[in-house]
Amino acid sequence: MQARRVGRDGLLVECASVTEVAGAYAALRAREADLRAIDIVPAARTVLLDGLADRDAALELVVALTPARVDGPAPDGAEVEVPVRYDGPDLEEVARQWQVTSAEVTRIHRETEYVVAFCGFAPGFAYCTGLPAHLGVQRRQDPRPRVPAGAVALAGEFTSVYPSSSPGGWQLIGSTALPVWRPEADPPALLAPGTRVRFVDA
Amino acid sequence: MREAHAGWLEVLDPGALTTVQDLGRPGWAHLGVPRSGALDQPALRLANRLVGNPEGAACLETTLTGAVLRSGATTTLAVTGAGCGVRVDGRPASWGAAVPVPAGAEVRVGPALDGVRSYVALAGGIDIAPVLGSRSSDVLSGLGPGPVALGDRLPLGRPGRASYGIEAVPVPRGDRLRIVLGPRADWFTAAALAGLDGASYEVAADSNRIGLRLTGLPIERERVEVPEELPSEGMVLGAVQVPPSGQPVVFLHDHPTTGGYPVVGVLVDEDLPVCAQARPGDRLTLRVVG
């Protein structure tokens, strides 16, 4: 794989797709002891290696990774079931965007297998991939000043669960009572990158 | 119940913004957790050394206006970072030195005379419960304690070894920000990149612990015709992010873990304290070093 230099001790590994990010992240985590990075941060098309003890050695390791080796099936991470009440205020809006009924929206959301590609926006906010490309969702024109913790939401190619209450522009289709962010717990985030996720009826 | 703490520090006036800070919580960025921690880390480490603490013990970070505190027990204190007057029960005390504080004494950390952020270390450190390995207050994500407020009583840990009998010497911080180009320098015009070295920027008033906002010559993008932004990618401390306005923002310790604007370059770690102490209206000069 290819990487760009970031500052004096970082690398930005480039991926062709979010699926490739999931594979590359799993492969890089598996080599954590050799990479000696302070942070390994997956995102939409990249994996950042920050605070490398030996960047030249890390770059050699990255270059030796081939996309074919990382773009395989979903990583065999932990699996989490999220019980959902599909009672979100934007269910009708998503149905309109997908041109299906709201019952069909909830069926598709439940039957899709997701993998957490990366976290961002807020601690424990997981970008779960798995929806087919044609089911992209436009964000709300006017973001809500406050979205409650546990809101189950869609935006772009992703679904997520709001880990704590915050402003937000995602379309809300339901809610869960399952806490996905507990800073005092180990691990603090239930939906860490690489985790496989299924949404089920509460 | 066992008395676990060696004493308390009471907040009589928190000033504009005073937060608890240590060396932050690196290592959790993959979960969306900002690094946080003291913006001027050499100053935090020095304050801790002066009072005999481990370098990463939790201190108070003040912002421009200082703070007024009262110690519940006899202790030792040191103030570093931005220069300021220090008074213990009304009597002038040394900045940058271990100062004995009698039980019940009022400690006045004055407004910053140079720089922005002063660091107040107490022997034993501030001993609140850590969150993900750090006691730092993160103003972006809300992790850790909120900013200290009037009437707060902060527990102090047990002092370790005796404090050092040394004094800090104020060092000129300079006005130069050294930048290593990349990872997205290719988003900008050759002229913009050539103009970066030596470019002078003014520090904007809306700078904070998340980012230092600079105003000056816009850093122009090559690919203005491309409508889509960069897909979100991991951001590092010191990243110089350029939004469509072309006015750069330097990411400081409470920065978001990912961002969607291209990063033209990354500051060298040694110049982060310059950002921590740059006042609105100050002029800083970029120097391209790689």
Each residue's pLDDT tens digit, B81-134: 999 999 999 999 999 999 999 999 999 999 999 999 999 999 999 999 999 999
Q: Could you give the 3-state DSSP secondary structure of residue A46?
A: strand
Q: State whether B32 and A121 contact (CB < 8 Å).
A: yes
CB proximity B26 to A under 8 Å? yes
Task: Tell me the pLDDT tens digit for each residue of A6-44.
Answer: 999 999 999 999 888 988 999 999 999 999 999 999 999
B130 and B201 share one domain: no
Q: State whether B30 and A40 contact (CB < 8 Å).
A: yes
Note the ipTM here: 0.94
Give me chain B's average pLDDT, please: 93
B192 and B137 share one domain: no
B189-to-B184, B222, B248 alpha-carbon distances in Å: 11, 5, 15
Q: What residue ranges of chain A are covered by domains with CATH 2.40.100.10?
A: 79-201
H helix intervals, chain A: 18-30, 32-35, 55-63, 67-70, 91-98, 102-111
- Residue (of B11, B121, B15) closest to B66 by Cα position: B15
CB proximity B133 to A under 8 Å? no
pTM of the model: 0.94
What would the two tokens of residue B242 be?
């350029």
What would the two tokens of residue B224 be?
């203005």
User: Which CATH architecture fits A79-201?
Assistant: Beta Barrel (2.40)
Q: With respect to residue B169, please indicate whether it lies within any of the assigned structural domains.
A: no
Query: What H or E segment, with its residue span, contains residue B194?
Result: helix B190-196
- Residue (of B199, B174, B192) closest to B270 by Cα position: B174
- Please list every residue in chain A whose beta carbon sits closer than 8 Å to the beta carbon of residue B184: 4
CB nearest B233 (choices: A46, A51, A192)? A46
The sheet carrying B99-101 orders its strands as B19-21, B59-61, B118-122, B75-81, B99-101
User: B272 is in which domain, residue-wise?
Assistant: 176-288
**Matching CATH number, A2-65, of 3.40.50.970, 3.40.50.1370, 3.30.1360.40, 3.40.190.10:** 3.30.1360.40
CA distance A5 to chain B (A): 6
φ, ψ dihedrals at B119, nearest 5°? -115, 130
Half-sphere exposure in the Cβ direction for B44 (13 Å, CA): 27
Half-sphere exposure in the Cβ direction for A90 (13 Å, CA): 24
Q: State whether A120 and B232 contact (CB < 8 Å).
A: yes
Q: What residue ranges of chain A are covered by domains with CATH 3.30.1360.40?
A: 2-65
Query: What H or E segment, with its residue span, contains residue A117?
Result: strand A114-119
B146 and B47 share one domain: yes
Q: State whether B180 and A41 contact (CB < 8 Å).
A: no
What would the two tokens of residue A119 be?
């976290």
Per-residue pLDDT at A6: 98
B11 and B106 share one domain: yes
- Residue (of A169, A170, A163) closest to A185 by Cα position: A163
Cβ-contact A78, A193 below 8 angstroms: no
Domain count, chain B: 2
B222 and B275 share one domain: yes
CB proximity A167 to B under 8 Å? no
CA distance A16 to chain B (A): 11
Per-residue pLDDT at A75: 57
Can you list the residues of chain B whose pLDDT is less than 50? 1-2
Chain A to chain B, count of Cβ pairs less than 8 Å apart?
109
